[in-house]
Homo-oligomer: A and B are copies of this chain.
Amino acid sequence: MQQSDDSGAPSFNPLVVLELISDTKEEAIAWLLSRIRTPQQAGGAGLLVEQLGPGVSAEHKDNPNLFLVGASWERLLSGAEDVGLFKEYSDGSMRGFTCTNKHNFKDFQGDGDGFLSMAECQYIIKHELETLRAKDETHVPGYSNAKLYPGKSIIRRLLSKGILIQMFPLHHKEELKRLSFSWYKKFKLSLQPLDEIRHYYGEGQALYFGFLEYFTFALVPMALFGVPYYMFDWEDYDKYVAFAVFNVVWCTIILELWKRSSATLAYHWGTLSRKKAFEEPRPGFHGVLGYNPVTDREEPLYPNAKRQLRIYLVSLPFVLLCLYLSLYVMMIYFQMEGWALSVHDQDPSFWTGVLLYIPSIIYAVVIEVMNLVYRYAAEFLTEWENHRLESSYQNHLVLKVLVFNFFNCFASLFYIAFVMQDMVLLSQSLATLLITSQILNQFMEAFLPYWLQRRRNKKMIRKVQKKRTPGDKELPLAEQVRLEADMSTYLGTFDDYLELFLLFGYVSLFSCVYPLAAVLVVLNNVTEVYSDAFKMCHVFKRPFADPAANIGVWQLAFETMSVIAVVTNCALIGMSPQVKAYFPESETQLILWTVAIEHGLLAFKFILTFLIPDVPKHIQIKLARLEFESLEALKKKKMLEGTEFRKSVQ
């Protein structure tokens, strides 16, 4: 094994770190490294890999089995072709990169600097490591229980057996400093540097921040609309008809427009027309070995019927039970609320006035706790359902969590609005829920992890400074890697989107009775940008890039919410005193009209969804052009083959 020098710096530019458990058997390590180093043609990954040196602050308890992975420049280019990267062509369009005509791509210089971003290189290395497959090994050397079969991804088996603890990409100190400066350290209002975020973190992250920014801007008109309401009509809950109408139109349009701007972003980032590679089974998937009917490769199979049984006989009842529990807690909250009100009515004082808010605050905290606990249960259940693909696992998890969170957060509001029909209480509850959950979220999400991370960070710096000249504040590589290895893992954009989803719900469903909601959400989003950016840069391990073309299942979730918003807003309009005044005699007439208008609005919404194209015209033309060119090229190729064919016939 090549020995690295004392500072731990390898002979190549390290991109990705593999951490094996500290007591991994030598033979397994030797085998893994040789498989990674073997050239691709011989069935290896063709990458560069070295063990991380102990560093200056080495301690006995440090895990020695940290490996740095990199690749030669040509290997990265051929990897870019393997993963199907889209890059800007010399004519300004986005095309799939191929090594054979690499010189026709816009930013390609011979030395290759700057053509592939570091995030792309790391993504390529991750892909190459994950598609490193067993050949004729029956198990990992030294671990007879870590079974392998031809075609099984080695890294996934090592992960599922716990031999490989983690694989993560390294930060780039300089780039990170530049990014965090333009992102959140400039003290002036500016758009987020989406292209730079994408450059450093990949498309999935950048789309999240793009959506956050878009959502915030989309809320501004509603906030502006809301402020005068709040200022001049504080106690006048009757005037919310105009606001409800505004809500219905607003939430329909912004989602359609987001689809278009997300398509524009994804096109320029090259993910819109990129083909999805064939999806491998997720690491935790288990079953009886058999032949995959699609690939004809040997892999574990798990009968779909069994999974369906687990979903419908266990998961579904469990979710329903949780929903019932949530309803039960809600009823307790209303009893507390009633008790506080009766105390306040009997002997009103400042303290009983404060007491009025206590049940709401307690309820908001309980909701957050329940959401958190449920989240673990949902993860456990979805894992147990044993989905073959990561995407199917994610969809089932998102569905479970969404339904419960929606119910948990909004059930009480629905109850107040439509069963109790108490608009004052609705506005109070909405305000309390919104503010409490925001405060809790920001705390749990950013400040707590930051504080933990800072402690670790300081400890490491102190440790290093003991051995080095003081004043040298930059950490050496070995320490930097170990520090990053200890950082918490960023678990993807799930929680961030979930938070936005709930905020969108508060704003679109009931904000007409509490016009300040939009203002609060805008303020929250502004701080959210900063705290999310900060946590990405300094609290969590760098995540691998995720070449997303859109916000996926969340688009559907937000659209469902906007349909529900049409229903609630129409109902609120129908219940308002002004509208009731138009139908003084017959409540039936009022309800029928409300329902008719609601159906009309829903139909209009669906027609609008059809009429507004999901992809802007100029992007459509570019995509059609690319397809046309590939069809023409195919035709030309066939024509040539046809000539040969005819010749061979004659």
Q: Does A61 contact B (CB under 8 A)?
A: no
**Stretch from A15-23, A204-212, A621-629 contacting the other chain:** A621-629
* Chain A 69-107 interface residues, beta-carbon cutoff 8 Å to B: 74, 78, 81-82, 98-100
- Complex CA distance for A645 and B588, rounded to whole angstroms: 77
Q: Does A577 contact B (CB under 8 A)?
A: no
| Closest CB in chain B relative to A641 CB, distance in Å | 6
Nearest B-chain residue to A77, judged by Cβ? B645
By size class, the interface of chain A is 35 or more
Q: Does A639 contact B (CB under 8 A)?
A: yes
> Chain A, 311-346, contact with B by CB distance < 8 Å: what is the 0/1 string?
000000000000000000000000000000000000
- Complex CA distance for A642 and B97, rounded to whole angstroms: 13
> Chain A, 580-623, contact with B by CB distance < 8 Å: what is the 0/1 string?
00000001100110010001000000000000000001000100
Q: Does A469 contact B (CB under 8 A)?
A: no
Q: Give the residue of B567, B595, B635, B645 whose beta carbon is less than 8 angstroms from that of A82.
A: B635
- Complex CA distance for A624 and B277, rounded to whole angstroms: 11
| Closest CB in chain B relative to A28 CB, distance in Å | 28
The interface residues of chain B lying within 8 Å CB-to-CB of A294 are 621, 624-625, 628
- Complex CA distance for A243 and B635, rounded to whole angstroms: 56
The interface residues of chain B lying within 8 Å CB-to-CB of A624 are 294
The interface residues of chain B lying within 8 Å CB-to-CB of A621 are 293-294
Q: Does A187 contact B (CB under 8 A)?
A: no
Q: Does A145 contact B (CB under 8 A)?
A: no
Query: Is B591 touching A645 in the complex (CB atoms < 8 A)?
Result: no
The interface residues of chain B lying within 8 Å CB-to-CB of A646 are 74, 78
Nearest B-chain residue to A649, judged by Cβ? B74
The interface residues of chain B lying within 8 Å CB-to-CB of A78 are 638, 642, 645-646
Nearest B-chain residue to A304, judged by Cβ? B617
| Closest CB in chain B relative to A366 CB, distance in Å | 28
The interface residues of chain B lying within 8 Å CB-to-CB of A40 are 639, 642
Query: Is A641 touching B591 in the complex (CB atoms < 8 A)?
Result: no
Query: Is A99 touching B645 in the complex (CB atoms < 8 A)?
Result: yes
> Chain A, 278-299, contact with B by CB distance < 8 Å: what is the 0/1 string?
1000000000000001110000
Query: Is B642 touching A295 in the complex (CB atoms < 8 A)?
Result: no
| Closest CB in chain B relative to A273 CB, distance in Å | 14
- Complex CA distance for A270 and B41, rounded to whole angstroms: 36
The interface residues of chain B lying within 8 Å CB-to-CB of A643 are 41
Q: Does A420 contact B (CB under 8 A)?
A: no
Chain A interface mostly helix, strand, loop or mixed? helix
Q: If A82-B638, A649-B74 touch, does A295 touch B628 (CB 8 Å cutoff)?
A: yes
Query: Is B641 touching A99 in the complex (CB atoms < 8 A)?
Result: yes
Q: Does A631 contact B (CB under 8 A)?
A: yes
| Closest CB in chain B relative to A219 CB, distance in Å | 27
- Complex CA distance for A595 and B595, rounded to whole angstroms: 8
- Complex CA distance for A304 and B295, rounded to whole angstroms: 46
| Closest CB in chain B relative to A361 CB, distance in Å | 32
The interface residues of chain B lying within 8 Å CB-to-CB of A592 are 591
| Closest CB in chain B relative to A624 CB, distance in Å | 5
Nearest B-chain residue to A278, judged by Cβ? B628
Q: If A294-B621, A621-B294, A628-B278 touch, does A100 touch B591 (CB 8 Å cutoff)?
A: no
* Chain A 153-204 interface residues, beta-carbon cutoff 8 Å to B: none
Nearest B-chain residue to A591, judged by Cβ? B591
The interface residues of chain B lying within 8 Å CB-to-CB of A645 are 74, 78, 99-100
| Closest CB in chain B relative to A622 CB, distance in Å | 9
- Complex CA distance for A643 and B341, rounded to whole angstroms: 79
| Closest CB in chain B relative to A27 CB, distance in Å | 30
> Chain A, 14-46, contact with B by CB distance < 8 Å: what is the 0/1 string?
000000000000000000000000001100000
- Complex CA distance for A304 and B638, rounded to whole angstroms: 35
> Chain A, 550-573, contact with B by CB distance < 8 Å: what is the 0/1 string?
000000000000000001000000
- Complex CA distance for A431 and B628, rounded to whole angstroms: 52
Q: If A591-B592, A595-B595, A599-B567 touch, does A81 touch B628 (CB 8 Å cutoff)?
A: no
- Complex CA distance for A649 and B293, rounded to whole angstroms: 40
| Closest CB in chain B relative to A563 CB, distance in Å | 9
- Complex CA distance for A645 and B80, rounded to whole angstroms: 14
The interface residues of chain B lying within 8 Å CB-to-CB of A588 are 587-588, 591
| Closest CB in chain B relative to A40 CB, distance in Å | 7
The interface residues of chain B lying within 8 Å CB-to-CB of A591 are 588, 591-592, 595
Q: If A294-B621, A595-B595 touch, does A277 touch B638 (CB 8 Å cutoff)?
A: no
| Closest CB in chain B relative to A639 CB, distance in Å | 7
The interface residues of chain B lying within 8 Å CB-to-CB of A595 are 591, 595
Q: Which A-B residue pairs are the 4 nearest by beta carbons?
A: A294-B624, A78-B642, A99-B645, A294-B625
Known: A41-B643, A78-B642. 5 other contacts (CB 8 A): A74-B645, A78-B638, A82-B635, A99-B645, A588-B588
Q: Which residues of A contact B (CB under 8 A)?
A: 40-41, 74, 78, 81-82, 98-100, 277-278, 293-295, 304, 567, 587-588, 591-592, 595, 599, 617, 621, 624-625, 627-628, 631, 635, 638-639, 641-643, 645-646, 649
Q: Could you show 24 A-B contacts with beta carbons less than 8 Å apart?
A: A41-B639, A41-B643, A74-B645, A74-B646, A74-B649, A78-B645, A78-B646, A81-B638, A82-B638, A98-B638, A98-B641, A99-B641, A100-B645, A278-B627, A278-B631, A294-B621, A294-B625, A294-B628, A295-B628, A304-B617, A567-B599, A591-B591, A591-B595, A595-B595
